[in-house]
Structure 1
């Protein structure tokens, strides 16, 4: 094909006063030359149009029949947004191109029609792709496919969703020999790795790495508040009034938070002071589809003054007149911050404007580190990892649902995906055996016999119900068990719960994690979807609530949603603390806090680990400051507690934050260290990641929780059955029972192996912890103190708010925050 734009497309650009940018033409030229592409361009540079320009050019004459382009997005909202933004120019140019979105929210009748009469361009998600290729005769739908557009690729490749996507691409490459891939991203730390990721399923094609350089630098600032900055916590309540004034000064403001709980809290706080009745909305993944679509439509039409949101809106979506992005709470990574900044002034030549609002004093340091990283354009996005065995098991079953297969053929296809390129054949055969029989310990049970091998060596599903169950349970996102929240009308309601019977019907507000309702009693009030509701009762998988009035409603807590602090920002935070000459950049109260620490104790150095010990009440504390993120610190706390027990230091518990770790117990730790009965070098030795880790994992409930997730993804435990869903209790009981059987009778079972891999690299952050221990080896600074230090105040305030270890659950270690502050600062000031 020619690289010149067809006249109708050139005329459309001219009618807008535009001209195609060079990187857009580069994608077109690369495609015309038979190559695939990875395009890296800043937010607002027209990456989406660059991705679709070859498609528009191919289809301009209206002669193509069938599915031409498959667009894959990490977010349903992004697919819907792209459908809207792509359909407009197609209609304005009068092109005979049909564009449709396909998500879990698409009606079943439309999804069925799309398999037999697909549009020219289908916009969907990795999960829907897995579903489509699991249907018999999928090749009839995809044999005409010419292009795959992967949007926001960086957000997929480092997760199990990326594993599922890579396997899907390998199958597409088999069904569509002419396939080429265009991947788009603004935030990639190592482009060469992602280019290889794209190229792996298409070895016969060249993959071009295209960079777009330029664009206005983002304008990023930290809120300069007159209020007292909190020592700990994540609510940022101190900033609500200032944020409200900032919202009034801008057209549309997006306020990002890191968790759904924070979203509910911030929205409620702003609404309580919204005297001018500004149109402020809430958007997060637990709200109903109808509510989210309503908010998205209002944003697109410019009807909202502000939206409080989570990561559901931080990727690629172009929302009208957003002229300010606010990040409430530390961003946890420079790439994530750059992505969110790009939602403001979504145009290449206009600077995006963002404001960081730290929730506590440590987060001020992290925000300052993020400002510096963004100014330098530094990327810290995660790299892809070897693929999960549970995801591959799911894919193997899906391919059997599509058609019978020979193991040799499927293995050859699987290793053409980047995450599984080094998968040994023996490992593949073990996974296949698991899918077919459940493995050695489970093969006697007929329910786990999902595949059968025919006389000619083909593997096929055991019965049609296997395919039905597979399609009901597809996907790699395992949330806590959810229940629908239905708003009902009660009688005689005044405050709290209703006084009459629950009314019938009622609209669905969304979904919440099942465990939260186990913490409620009838009549308890809580905030959900921006409303205060009272808990009325539960039936099956539905929780009934009614509108209520309460001065202090509960804020729902969610098990997931926390982002890890990136290694790069953690290193920058240590550098800031170790550079007093740069403290003038910090708010006075934070700089004064660091000076107090320097005068009263010592400051953590960039290349060492500060360990403070002091007595408080009848207990003794050890506080250290690795700045390696909550996951690594929690693992370190578990392992150190075991070691201290062996040393007879009588530890009682620990608490971990993103920045610090505190352990307390009955033994005088300062005296033990002073008399050489406790060596810090030995206590923090890397060998804790060997036998200590293994023995702790063997005893830990964490393994059972991790196994549950792997078993769900692998299809061993099914969440959904036709017409009903299992409760969280049912899933947990089934999972725990199977885990105990496998651990006792087949400890090397492939799912036990998958569980250990997941625990090590995800839930425990073992690699990062190992790097930290190696970095501080022989560089541990011990500072014995008479009382709590200024730097230790935030972590001690967290005691009692987080799950703690062993006997500490029963001990009275958590004291009032104001008492701790008086104790820490009274004598210092």
Structure 2
């Protein structure tokens, strides 16, 4: 096949893969589509050379100073700023060698003011940017002229945007660009998607694009770092640091490794532990997570690319397609919780066509050996999770209306047709549209008297625009759908004042510290000096007991695909089948579970009933993930409380949940099919939970996106408490004076869909109805039930008292289980991560206000 791509490949002695040639042909014919291929297979070159083949031409003469590059022709959308910089470097290389008169530019939140000013005068030929920065460009009054020459748009890592509001924001921006450029070619790139047809439909339209599969013989190896001995009564929360010597040995054996953790707090602790074990690696290992400063992250990424680092301890901040060719090994600390996430992280090694990718799982407690064995099978079978796009998030729509009013203005009827072209708003009703227009015009029924909420109004020609320059500036500073708790910048304190910045930490964590307290951050032991103007000033500390910052959003629930694979492994164990090394190692634990109770299987639902000094316990194991289990436990407690007076305490984890009552409950009588019914599910779920309080918390994010609250200007941000108070005030005003406000309904819907995952809850109830209920009275906590006891005890015990209590309980349980050929190292309770405490219940069975989850 001729063209610039074939010429560049031939110069290197390469042959384009069939899927790359398929994309080149499709773009040549003017077709859009979705390219799904393994990580490191060459997706970037597939779409980049497709664009160059069609739209670029080599220079006819040597470049001269002052020559202008081609105008804006291609937009490359990326979900991460770090990925944007790496992508821009990758796209630049062929331009230089092929002497193409295109320029590459970068526009993200990190782009400096000088570069923004240059782009304001003339955009580059190919612009790498994020959804937020693209929307910001669309707010320019000359936006239509700016994008007049746009011919192609590429969405990288589409699976990372598909299932959230950032993806909805991009859908709306795409609708506007297609309106201006009807022949616009759009391609999405993805490596880990289980529902590719849906992803294609959301990006384009039903039947409107090609799905190209980049099928290649990419070897993906998944293995497990086996501990020398296991605990028969594990508990979630300790970090598996007893595996440190083996992890260090694995890192030693490779030139460059990535050590992934699931939380930022966990990455801080593991980085410090590795450095303490190998002080000679100082300067050769690094830490990378989203709260570190941009300068630190940039240095780590560049050092990885040039191979000067031995290892990096990281989080999801390095999940995506940044090209680190020197990386040989990937280690995953703890369960990955999902098949797609594990495959994505594995792909960080061997990131080139033909090179194998390998990931090594490091279990942090015994039951994660079962998850490791299940993950191996799920990856081999490619049981990848799907992602669903949100439907009709009205806060994003409201923000978009103001953005379009800034970008030259809009006419309502025309914009409605445009908005309905998107997948997320295809079912938007006339009443919902009328409400959104009224909301941006005068704030709806309850805010008409306040000028700050009169953001858009029609002019004499019927064109809706933003009439106030101050409101326009405020809106531009608030564009985006990423909402997090307020963060404080962490800076060194010097005699002359502030020193260099280390990154940011959430306000709630710093609020619990006093000057002089120590904490671990950016791989350093620091001492808090003072807090001033949203900045935490620190100095180096030694010999202090370090707290670890806890960031929200770190608790990933077990995916359905991986949970099903785990149950299959347990079902096989119940039949005496221990096929893998992981399952053979965990056999002593599972044997105690079988001796004292039973194992969950694909056809049975295990329920354990225990009476202790605390009361009557029910342990139920649906294996549906902690979000579903919280909703399910609350639902069963509430339904039972309506039949008989009873009060429950609730504990949940990814495997099951515990209901504890101080009064006797005859579970063999009450645990019937009626408790698991799906009729009136929505009504019962709302009744079983403190839905009003959950919706109030969710409303803070919605109010911020919809422009009701303003987070503040750079250097003068509002605190999380101020934002919560402001959004809470709006929530109360709307409930009292504007109960039909659609943002209230959205808050409730998001609680059900995101925090409680009601759709998966309903599917779980339907599945449980088909399973045989296996009720087992037990005399003591089983290996599956013990972690749930620990979860509940966190509610009322300090970490020191909890550690002592766990140690005594484990000793008693081990004595009761006997040796039976089982050998265990001395029982040791390790340092633990902070876990969200599960709410106790009121007398009616509903849980009290749930504490905010932190890492």
Is the TM-score greater than 0.5?
yes
Which residue among 261, 283, 300 is the counterpart of 2:265? 261
Which residue among 591, 605, 630 is the counterpart of 1:609? 605
Aligned equivalent of 1:825: 814
**What's the TM-score once normalised by structure 2's chain length?**
0.90
SS across alignment from 2:33: strand
Structure 1 residues 29, 303: CA separation in 2 closer, same or farther (over 3 Å shift)? same
- Number of corresponding residues: 800
Cα distance between partner residues in 2 of 1:696 and 1:450: 39
The answer to whether structure 1 residue 740 and structure 2 residue 736 are counterparts is: no
SS across alignment from 2:512: coil
Query: How do residues 206-285 of structure 1 correspond to structure 2 at under 5 angstroms?
Result: 206-228=208-230, 230-233=234-237, 235-277=239-281, 279-285=284-290
Aligned equivalent of 1:673: 667
SS across alignment from 2:617: strand
Cα distance between partner residues in 2 of 1:76 and 1:722: 19
How far the C-alpha of 1:79 sits from its partner, in A, is: 0.9
Aligned equivalent of 1:816: 805
Which residue among 441, 444, 453 is the counterpart of 1:448? 453
Cα distance between partner residues in 2 of 1:338 and 1:816: 38
SS across alignment from 2:498: coil
Query: Bigger CA drift: 139-148 or 382-391?
Result: 382-391
SS across alignment from 1:786: coil
How far the C-alpha of 1:447 sits from its partner, in A, is: 2.2
Aligned equivalent of 2:653: 657
How far the C-alpha of 1:234 sits from its partner, in A, is: 5.2
The answer to whether structure 1 residue 525 and structure 2 residue 518 are counterparts is: yes
How far the C-alpha of 1:414 sits from its partner, in A, is: 0.6
SS across alignment from 1:443: coil
SS across alignment from 1:385: coil
Structure 1 residues 12, 34: CA separation in 2 closer, same or farther (over 3 Å shift)? closer
- Contact 1:327/1:357, CA 8 A, preserved across alignment: yes
Which residue among 691, 707, 710 is the counterpart of 1:718? 710
Which residue among 163, 172, 178 is the counterpart of 2:168? 163
The answer to whether structure 1 residue 406 and structure 2 residue 411 are counterparts is: yes
Cα distance between partner residues in 1 of 2:513 and 2:343: 39
Query: How do residues 755-766 of structure 1 correspond to structure 2 at under 5 angstroms?
Result: 755-766=747-758
Structure 1 residues 547, 622: CA separation in 2 closer, same or farther (over 3 Å shift)? same
Cα distance between partner residues in 2 of 1:684 and 1:69: 53
The answer to whether structure 1 residue 622 and structure 2 residue 618 are counterparts is: yes
SS across alignment from 1:634: helix
How far the C-alpha of 1:649 sits from its partner, in A, is: 5.6
Which residue among 488, 499, 506 is the counterpart of 1:506? 499
Structure 1 residues 38, 787: CA separation in 2 closer, same or farther (over 3 Å shift)? same
Cα distance between partner residues in 1 of 2:195 and 2:138: 30
Cα distance between partner residues in 2 of 1:509 and 1:340: 26
Aligned equivalent of 1:557: 550
Which residue among 466, 470, 475 is the counterpart of 2:471? 466
Which residue among 102, 108, 121 is the counterpart of 2:107? 102
Query: Bigger CA drift: 304-313 or 365-374?
Result: 365-374
Structure 1 residues 572, 722: CA separation in 2 closer, same or farther (over 3 Å shift)? closer
Cα distance between partner residues in 2 of 1:615 and 1:110: 68
Structure 1 residues 27, 527: CA separation in 2 closer, same or farther (over 3 Å shift)? same
Structure 1 residues 610, 358: CA separation in 2 closer, same or farther (over 3 Å shift)? same
Aligned equivalent of 2:2: 4
Give the RMSD, CA atoms, in angstroms: 2.2
Query: How do residues 541-620 of structure 1 correspond to structure 2 at under 5 angstroms?
Result: 541-550=534-543, 552-580=545-573, 581-585=576-580, 586-620=582-616
Structure 1 residues 173, 249: CA separation in 2 closer, same or farther (over 3 Å shift)? same
How far the C-alpha of 1:409 sits from its partner, in A, is: 0.7
The answer to whether structure 1 residue 638 and structure 2 residue 641 are counterparts is: no
Aligned equivalent of 1:289: 294
The answer to whether structure 1 residue 309 and structure 2 residue 323 are counterparts is: no
Structure 1 residues 647, 823: CA separation in 2 closer, same or farther (over 3 Å shift)? farther
Structure 1 residues 62, 631: CA separation in 2 closer, same or farther (over 3 Å shift)? farther
Cα distance between partner residues in 2 of 1:265 and 1:320: 27
Aligned equivalent of 2:823: none
How far the C-alpha of 1:349 sits from its partner, in A, is: 1.1
How far the C-alpha of 1:441 sits from its partner, in A, is: 2.0
Aligned equivalent of 2:844: none
How far the C-alpha of 1:507 sits from its partner, in A, is: 1.0
String of CA shifts for 1:103-157, please: whole Å, max 9, x gaps: 1011022123213301111111111111111111111211100110111111111
Cα distance between partner residues in 1 of 2:502 and 2:773: 52
**What's the TM-score once normalised by structure 1's chain length?**
0.93
- Contact 1:485/1:545, CA 8 A, preserved across alignment: yes
Structure 1 residues 326, 814: CA separation in 2 closer, same or farther (over 3 Å shift)? closer
The answer to whether structure 1 residue 693 and structure 2 residue 703 are counterparts is: no
Structure 1 residues 376, 32: CA separation in 2 closer, same or farther (over 3 Å shift)? same
String of CA shifts for 1:736-788, please: whole Å, max 9, x gaps: 11111111222221110110121111011111111111211274322222221
Query: Bigger CA drift: 189-198 or 114-123?
Result: 189-198
Cα distance between partner residues in 1 of 2:75 and 2:570: 48
Aligned equivalent of 1:783: 776
Q: Give the gaps of 5 or more residues in structure 1.
A: 491-502
Cα distance between partner residues in 2 of 1:12 and 1:72: 24
Query: How do residues 14-413 of structure 1 correspond to structure 2 at under 5 angstroms?
Result: 14-57=10-53, 58-62=55-59, 65-200=70-205, 206-228=208-230, 230-233=234-237, 235-277=239-281, 279-413=284-418
SS across alignment from 2:160: helix
How far the C-alpha of 1:227 sits from its partner, in A, is: 4.4
Cα distance between partner residues in 2 of 1:443 and 1:769: 40
How far the C-alpha of 1:78 sits from its partner, in A, is: 0.8
Cα distance between partner residues in 2 of 1:708 and 1:687: 31
Query: Bigger CA drift: 13-22 or 242-251?
Result: 13-22
Query: How do residues 484-499 of structure 1 correspond to structure 2 at under 5 angstroms?
Result: 484-489=489-494
Structure 1 residues 754, 814: CA separation in 2 closer, same or farther (over 3 Å shift)? farther
Structure 1 residues 239, 434: CA separation in 2 closer, same or farther (over 3 Å shift)? same
- Contact 2:609/2:667, CA 8 A, preserved across alignment: no
How far the C-alpha of 1:568 sits from its partner, in A, is: 1.1
Aligned equivalent of 2:462: 457
How far the C-alpha of 1:542 sits from its partner, in A, is: 0.8
SS across alignment from 1:154: helix
- Contact 1:607/1:775, CA 8 A, preserved across alignment: no
How far the C-alpha of 1:164 sits from its partner, in A, is: 0.5
Structure 1 residues 342, 679: CA separation in 2 closer, same or farther (over 3 Å shift)? closer
With a CA cutoff of 8 Å and minimum separation of 6, indicate the structure with the bigger relative contact order: 2
Structure 1 residues 724, 233: CA separation in 2 closer, same or farther (over 3 Å shift)? same
How far the C-alpha of 1:657 sits from its partner, in A, is: 1.1
Cα distance between partner residues in 1 of 2:605 and 2:492: 52
- Contact 1:401/1:467, CA 8 A, preserved across alignment: yes
- Contact 2:70/2:101, CA 8 A, preserved across alignment: no
Cα distance between partner residues in 2 of 1:409 and 1:466: 24
How far the C-alpha of 1:270 sits from its partner, in A, is: 1.0
How far the C-alpha of 1:551 sits from its partner, in A, is: 5.2
SS across alignment from 2:650: strand
Cα distance between partner residues in 2 of 1:254 and 1:169: 35
How far the C-alpha of 1:687 sits from its partner, in A, is: 4.5
How far the C-alpha of 1:455 sits from its partner, in A, is: 4.3
Structure 1 residues 821, 688: CA separation in 2 closer, same or farther (over 3 Å shift)? farther
Cα distance between partner residues in 1 of 2:77 and 2:789: 45
Query: Bigger CA drift: 267-276 or 731-740?
Result: 267-276
Cα distance between partner residues in 1 of 2:15 and 2:579: 45
- Contact 2:230/2:586, CA 8 A, preserved across alignment: no
Cα distance between partner residues in 1 of 2:367 and 2:443: 48
String of CA shifts for 1:155-177, please: whole Å, max 9, x gaps: 11111111011111111111223
